[in-house]
Homo-oligomer: A and B are copies of this chain.
Amino acid sequence: MTETTDPGRLGPEHRELLGQVLDKWSLEVLDRLCERPRRFNELRRAIPAVTQKSLTATLRRLERNGMVEREIVSTRPVGVEYRMTPLGKTLQGLIDALLEWSATRLPEVNRARDRFDDAEREAEQGSVSR
């Protein structure tokens, strides 16, 4: 290592970017849109827990960051379709990996949480704080 100059160094811009892309609903929205383009209410139904307001905000943010595209479809009641941009598609592998990781590791994490919470409760009863 010829002087790695501290490789972990990330600027605030990177934190912000990842924050916008990885927030509460973005992952699921992106995951859905990776499958195929979707309309607004289609997305809502696909992600029942999201509110209309949050979904709108999420989509706007993703659109602003160049991850998704919005197209107005001149059908009868008028529809709006969202689809991944080429830039957004560069995320697909990462998204898949994240979702898969969370799916496979959740049991272990739950056990870890139980252990932690138990130890904490003990500590409260006994005298050992932190």
How near does chain B come to A115, taking the closest CB pair, in angstroms?
Answer: 8
Interface string of A25-62 (1 = CB under 8 A from B): 00110011011000000000010010000000000000
Q: Using A7-B35, A105-B87 as known contacts, say yes or no to A64 and B14 having CB atoms under 8 A apart.
A: no
Interface band, chain A: 35 or more
**Stoichiometry (number of copies):** 2
In the complex, A108→B87 CA distance in Å?
A: 8
Apart from A94-B94, A94-B97, what 14 extra A-B contacts exist at CB < 8 Å? A7-B35, A8-B34, A10-B28, A10-B31, A12-B49, A13-B106, A15-B28, A17-B105, A18-B98, A64-B117, A65-B109, A66-B112, A66-B113, A87-B108
